[in-house]
Structure 1
């Protein structure tokens, strides 16, 4: 059999016919005529659920912001990205080869003309991108046969949650008919959460955890309606909350959390940014009475790991778990 195949290949080459070798992902997508149409629920700018139907897999995706780009790369869909923009930090190392193949724009938030010139059949982005000051509502594009998908935790869904992150990944798997890969990514996250929460239940006490960032006046709290807060709760810890997710400095001191995660906006790999965020808590004379400060339990977490985090959700889960339960190893 091997000799027959070699002979056939030689004949093809001699005749000037070069066999086309497709990647497994591309083959799966292009050989899926019987799968479509598929209808997905997403949102408009009024935060109303809407249904979008795909008659085939999108071929020219315009992807804006970190998790939009990285989720597509994680699903092996770099060949279908016509343009991308809006990275807060470098893509994860495991996606670098795929990222090198795409057209990444220097403009952080491309305008409507740039998007239309790319002739996309799908725009994948955050809720804010479809405001009037940016691209306008999704109807403008739907009228031009350009589908849209808004990541739920970017502001579209009423409540941020881990489940929303799972759903976005699974929905993109359905849109491109790569469900198996999407389910694999989500299963890894769910398994890690279940493992950590199971171990946490064996503990005598659940630590009180505050996820916060400093504002001009007081502290912003990542409460139950945020992704960061939902992560903490699902990992089995007690979440410190606040009315309207805000605390004064006095209320911050009175809350006296056992563990503090202070959110920063730099790269998740930047030790300098993380250290600066921690220093802002531990070096402030006002906060020296806090249990978390006295016991060296103040940690930093990048916004990109716990806000509309896509595949970085797993990084956020591990970051939180290792701070909440330092005596355990969840890597």
Structure 2
């Protein structure tokens, strides 16, 4: 499990404008930035107070946002905020951005780094907002935290899902609700509340439609295999795959763990007798390699899911917090229905 994120697990931009700091027509979907759009050149910068892990923070409309990993960039792009994105940082675990539904938006901004997020990078880029998760971007060990950025005058946005273990300001929100909350909070920060409401309503409707078609009977026990050979990393109750599995009609065999991404034992996996294994597919750790390991390892080769060849591959960006969670949900739900047929 790479240290770049909790799951073993975009550089375009103009300088901050003088008087037009809150008056831009946002690219994509025709959304406008806030009530200052017609206020003229003398309008002051637009400010709004939004919670960051439950802590009220005042934001000025960003013009040079930096996103860490696909989930962050996808949230911004889904709200039509491409013109406000300076660039993205995309470590090797992420699948190629050309595979994203927003590939055209990624192409309009810069790739700032294919390594870890760090303070020097965002300072050199003159970023005015960094979007990332706690321990998946922001990190005490690497010296880039919201508190440090606050002191540098750089705004930060933290994924609600990652607030669960954020020191000083923990927040418990179910993963899908955390996604919706993020989109709504970003909508307020950028002044595109109506667009955010439309996006959230669409995602909610899709999730509800999946839940309504969930297979009847006992939920299928599902094990998510993130990575690890000596001990596996998997999904606890506080990350999106738990909601993906449950909404689709399955049961996360480690959903009782009050954790995000966590390490368990192979003995616990064996005892859980999963009927399905979800493989989290990274750019640098292909799914087939993980499947081959599970088939060959004496600790897992006799698992019901392995013997029945019940493997489902979940794209990395469908498993971390982002709008593609619902894509992953729909695909997994369809897979479960085929097993019940």
Q: What TM-score, normalized by structure 2, do the two folds share?
A: 0.75
Query: Does the CA contact (< 8 Å) of 1:256 and 1:290 recur in 2?
Result: yes
Higher relative contact order (CA closer than 8 Å, sequence separation 6+): 2
Query: Does the CA contact (< 8 Å) of 1:275 and 1:300 recur in 2?
Result: no
| Alignment counterpart, residue 253 of structure 1, candidates 270, 276, 283 | 270
Query: Does the CA contact (< 8 Å) of 1:231 and 1:317 recur in 2?
Result: yes
Q: Which has the larger radius of gyration?
A: 1
**Shift of residue 25, structure 1, vs aligned partner:** 5.8
Query: Does the CA contact (< 8 Å) of 2:64 and 2:128 recur in 1?
Result: yes
Higher helix content, 1 or 2: 1
Matches within 5 A, 1:150-299: 150-154=158-162, 156=166, 159=172, 161-200=175-214, 203-241=216-254, 246-266=263-283, 273-299=286-312
d(CA) in 1 for partners of 2:76 and 2:228? 33
Determine if the alignment matches structure 1 residue 143 to structure 2 residue 155. no
d(CA) in 2 for partners of 1:21 and 1:232? 39
Task: Output one character per residue of 1:230-266: Cα deviation in whole Å (capped at 9) or x when no partner.
Answer: 3212333222126675543333223211222132322
SS at match of 1:218: coil
Determine if the alignment matches structure 1 residue 53 to structure 2 residue 67. no
d(CA) in 2 for partners of 1:203 and 1:69? 36
Query: Does the CA contact (< 8 Å) of 1:73 and 1:95 recur in 2?
Result: yes
Determine if the alignment matches structure 1 residue 89 to structure 2 residue 95. yes
| Alignment counterpart, residue 78 of structure 2, candidates 74, 96, 101 | 74
Query: Does the CA contact (< 8 Å) of 2:26 and 2:80 recur in 1?
Result: no
Determine if the alignment matches structure 1 residue 325 to structure 2 residue 337. yes
Query: Does the CA contact (< 8 Å) of 2:63 and 2:85 recur in 1?
Result: yes
d(CA) in 1 for partners of 2:121 and 2:263? 38
Query: Does the CA contact (< 8 Å) of 2:34 and 2:192 recur in 1?
Result: no
**Shift of residue 214, structure 1, vs aligned partner:** 4.3
d(CA) in 2 for partners of 1:286 and 1:212? 14
In structure 2, relative to structure 1, the CA distance for the partners of 1:61 and 1:109 (3 Å cut) is same
Determine if the alignment matches structure 1 residue 98 to structure 2 residue 110. no
Query: Does the CA contact (< 8 Å) of 2:223 and 2:269 recur in 1?
Result: no
Q: Which runs of 5+ in 1 are unaligned?
A: 1-19, 44-48
Question: Which residue does 1:302 correspond to in 2?
Answer: 315
Instruction: Choose 121-130 or 29-38, whichever is displaced more.
Output: 29-38
| Alignment counterpart, residue 120 of structure 1, candidates 116, 120, 127 | 127
Q: What TM-score, normalized by structure 1, do the two folds share?
A: 0.77
**Shift of residue 149, structure 1, vs aligned partner:** 0.6
**Shift of residue 41, structure 1, vs aligned partner:** 0.7
**Shift of residue 127, structure 1, vs aligned partner:** 1.6
Question: Which residue does 2:10 correspond to in 1?
Answer: none
d(CA) in 1 for partners of 2:237 and 2:243? 6
Number of corresponding residues: 298
Query: Does the CA contact (< 8 Å) of 1:153 and 1:307 recur in 2?
Result: no
Query: Does the CA contact (< 8 Å) of 2:224 and 2:278 recur in 1?
Result: yes
**Shift of residue 42, structure 1, vs aligned partner:** 0.8
**Shift of residue 36, structure 1, vs aligned partner:** 4.9
Query: Does the CA contact (< 8 Å) of 1:266 and 1:302 recur in 2?
Result: no
